[in-house]
Amino acid sequence: MERPLWIDRHAPTLEDLPQAEVGERLQNAVSEPVNLVLQGPIGSGKTAAVRALADAAHEDPEADLVEINVADFFGMTKKELTQDPRFARFISAKRRRESSKADLINYVLKESASYPPVSGSYNTILLDNAEAIREDFQQALRRVMEQYHQATQFVIATRQPTKLIPPIRSRCVPVAVRAPTEDEIVSVLRDIAAAEDVPFDDEGLGYVASYAESNLRRAILAAQTAAEKNGALEGIDVLDPLADVGLDDRIEEMLDAAEDGSFSDARGVLDDLLVDEGLTGEEVLEEILRVARTRYNGDRLPEIYRSAGDVDFDLTHGTSARIHLGRFLAELGA
């Protein structure tokens, strides 16, 4: 797919959000910054809404908005954390040597909140996929929120707000972001297609919206794929290029890397599936098993299913899909 992606090139403003009520709620947080919890399903537009909020609230949103994807952040190794350009600026060599990973994560949260804003009077910190935060780190986050409430606005985006501890929920204004309707998705696609000068009709846009199953991000990516291959978004022909759009190649790539012992490459693909594709840990595991049924035979397949059963249990009772699936990939390599 050509760059830049439409989801980036046509990022909405608060006024352009398909759910007007969400835009209105967030507009109130521009003049009077408060901590927020955005709760809603995958692909409902939570991250795009927070970026629209930052664009409205900060003269330099790239400097004053700190985005932390929790599934990635809390799964980082100590080395990865200290080398990340977002955080390396305030991690001294001494602290890097002497701090445990847990202490370093707490320190990064505190420093991110206390760092002076570039263009205004406060920073905005987005904690995306926040259901993956362990309870002990949530307690540390609560203390940071209390200490820096005047200098930093925390926005917590999650699919499962009940996994947040009550002291955090009580310090945030809840904003419900429902799954977009097909009509709302078609409206967004219509504006993008017109801006891109791509021929379209309502039938074609309707097919793309139906294909996306209430996932706005998936709809925009699918529309770009169809437009680049067909030159238009018209009629049932939009579905032809989408028939080949799936996760099989990425899953195969991840399994190949794991079995070759290239764990960092396998985990990189896993991160793409969890973060960029927005899949849950359970969905990634389901895709792995679907591919495994045609990839393996003999004793290997039952062995993988046994390991997957343990991972499924951990995903149900644990907090970090990245850690549990990463361990599963490491076992494949072993």
Is the backbone peptide bond immediately before 174 cis, with ω within 30 degrees of 0?
no
Please give the angle made by the CA atoms of 46, 5 and 160, to the nearest 5 degrees: 20
Domain 182-242 carries which CATH code? Answer: 1.10.8.60
* Cβ atoms of residues 42 and 280 within 8 Å: yes
* Cβ atoms of residues 153 and 35 within 8 Å: yes
First to last CA, the chain: 34
User: Looking at the chain, which residues constitute the CATH 1.10.8.60 domain(s)?
Assistant: 182-242
pLDDT score recorded for residue 75 = 66
Question: Hey, what's the torsion of the CAs at 261, 267, 270, 275, to 10 degrees?
Answer: -170
Q: What HEC string does the chain produce?
A: CCCCCHHHHCCCCHHHCCCHHHHHHHHHHHHCCCCEEEECCCCCCHHHHHHHHHHHHCCCHHHHEEEEEHHHHCCCCHHHHHHCCCCHHHCCHHHHHHCCHHHHHHHHHHHHHHCCCCCCCCEEEEEECHHHCCHHHHHHHHHHHHHCCCCEEEEEEECCHHHCCHHHHCCCEEEECCCCCHHHHHHHHHHHHHHCCCCECHHHHHHHHHHHCCCHHHHHHHHHHHHHHHCCECHHHHHHHHCCCCCHHHHHHHHHHHHCCCHHHHHHHHHHHHHHCCCCHHHHHHHHHHHHHHHCCCCHHHHHHHHHHHHHHHHHHCCCHHHHHHHHHHHHHC
User: Looking at the chain, which residues constitute the CATH 1.20.272.10 domain(s)?
Assistant: 248-333
pLDDT score recorded for residue 300 = 76
- Tally of CA atoms within 13 A in the half-sphere of 67 that contains its CB: 15
Q: What distance in Å separates the CA atoms of residue 115 and residue 82, rounded to the nearest whole number?
A: 17
Closest by CA position to 112, among listed 70, 47, 156, 64:
64
Query: Per residue of the chain (334 residues), what is the pLDDT tens digit?
Result: 445 789 889 999 999 999 999 999 999 998 788 999 999 988 899 999 999 999 999 999 988 998 887 766 776 778 878 887 777 777 888 888 888 877 888 888 888 888 788 887 889 999 988 887 888 888 888 999 988 888 899 999 998 899 899 999 999 999 999 999 999 999 999 999 999 999 999 999 999 999 888 889 889 988 998 999 999 999 999 998 887 566 777 888 888 888 877 888 888 889 888 877 778 888 888 888 888 887 776 677 888 888 888 888 888 876 678 888 888 888 887 6
* Cβ atoms of residues 124 and 35 within 8 Å: no
Given the candidates 3.40.640.10, 3.90.180.10, 3.40.50.300, 1.10.150.530, the CATH classification of the domain at 19-176 is: 3.40.50.300
Q: Does the domain formed by 248-333 have CATH 3.20.20.140?
A: no
Q: How many CB atoms lie within 10 A of CB 328?
A: 24
pLDDT score recorded for residue 2 = 43
* Cβ atoms of residues 37 and 113 within 8 Å: no
Q: What distance in Å separates the CA atoms of residue 266 and residue 182, rounded to the nearest whole number?
A: 35
| β-sheet bridge partners, residue 68 | 127
> Which residues in 182-206 are b (16+ Cβ under 10 Å) and which e?
bebbbebbeebbeeeebebeeebbb
pLDDT score recorded for residue 1 = 41
